[in-house]
Amino acid sequence: MKIGIVNDMPLAVEALRRALALEPAHQVIWVAVNGAEAVAKCAEQKPDVVLMDLMMPVMDGVEATRQIMASTPCAIVVVTVNSQQTMGRVFEAMGHGAVDVVDTPALGVGDPREAAAPLLRKIQNIGWLLGQQENRPGARTQVAAPARQRQALLAIGSSAGGPAALEVLLKQLPADFPGAVVLVQHVDQVFAAGMAEWLCSASNMPVRLAVDGEQPQVGSVLLAGTNNHLRLLKDGTLSYTVAPSEHIYRPSIDVFFESVAQYWQGNAIGVLLTGMGRDGANGLKLMRERGFHTIAQDQASSAVYGMPKAAAAIDAAVEICPLEAIAPTVCRLWA
């Protein structure tokens, strides 16, 4: 993997270099000390992955992420010394298309390989996504068409660009929304609680992390909150599960959508938003085949047109909508 580092702190750059050196396939092709320099270097020599700091002079990492994704899009991982203190800015960067976030590996403390493991794992995941085949088959669950009852569920999946897209969508859903909402966003469990709090400030409904064993409730928004998959069980409760282990991103949108198609006994709408790769496309198609209404975000409004594109390619979406039209469409369908 060709990697660009954007950081104005020499110690942080050295920590990243040492972590990357543990994997011989990774090559640092340039280092930028501010966002403006990073934008220029991406244009000159586009990397596979950019490791982006947020707090820099001249141009910060949020604006640099926005400009890079607009001009020379590539996979961007936010790397910060203290992500908890910069949580709002982390989600801003993810809203502009950053794929993931990780803390800077500790330098000279403990086992270097252990310290580097979270960063190297995320880069490995990105490498898999960049190299995957568009028509890679996904696991399909054979289920009977569910009987329709009154309770309604809005199931939403998102990845890169998702936080900002979810903020827009939730702002447009009314406080008296007639369904339960469950979100699966590709985000590490370390940041999930902060994301729920951040989204709650924008939503007309309360947003919190889903708890193992609870049922989705009308008027509330639940966010998948661990590195295990969230799925719906036959009794209508939510559960976190390690299996299937082969999914690169945890929690997997496909796993949740497939469980909704299999077990949800009310009305449901599936929505697949911006993101890299194709997670959620097969699950959305399964929801459509079981008679649920399905929506994919359109290309023009997607920060990263990967997952919705994959859904469109296999005819998984009943409708393809710009982001601003998704909430009004859902409300119209359940008016």
The three-point CA angle 289-306-104 to 5° equals: 125
């954007």: which residue's tokens?
A: 6
Supply the Cα-derived Rg of the chain in whole angstroms: 20
Let me know: does 145 contact 173? Beta carbons within 8 Å. Answer: no
- Which residue among the candidates 279, 298, 301, 302 is catalytic per the annotation? 279
Reference 102, options 74, 85, 81; nearest CA is 81
Reference 280, options 156, 110, 105; nearest CA is 156
The answer to whether residue 186 is catalytic is yes
Angstrom distances, CA of residue 61 to CA of 1, 35, 37: 21, 6, 11
- DSSP codes joined into one string, 135-178: T--------PPPPP-S-EEEEEEE-TTHHHHHHHHHHHS-TT-S
**CA–CA gap between residue 238 and residue 231 (Å, rounded):** 6
Let me know: does 160 contact 99? Beta carbons within 8 Å. Answer: yes
335 forms bridges with which residues in the sheet?
A: none
């945890």: which residue's tokens?
A: 250
**CA–CA gap between residue 119 and residue 74 (Å, rounded):** 17
- Which residue among the candidates 26, 186, 229, 293 is catalytic per the annotation? 186
What residues contact residue 121 under an 8 Å CB cut-off, 6+ apart?
Answer: none
Structure tokens at 165: 């897209």
- How many other C-beta atoms can be found within 10 angstroms of the C-beta atom of residue 57? 10
- How many other C-beta atoms can be found within 10 angstroms of the C-beta atom of residue 295? 26
- Which residue among the candidates 83, 158, 159, 203 is catalytic per the annotation? 159
The answer to whether residue 293 is catalytic is no
Let me know: does 100 contact 227? Beta carbons within 8 Å. Answer: no
3 state SS of 266:
coil
Q: Which residues are catalytic?
A: 159, 186, 279
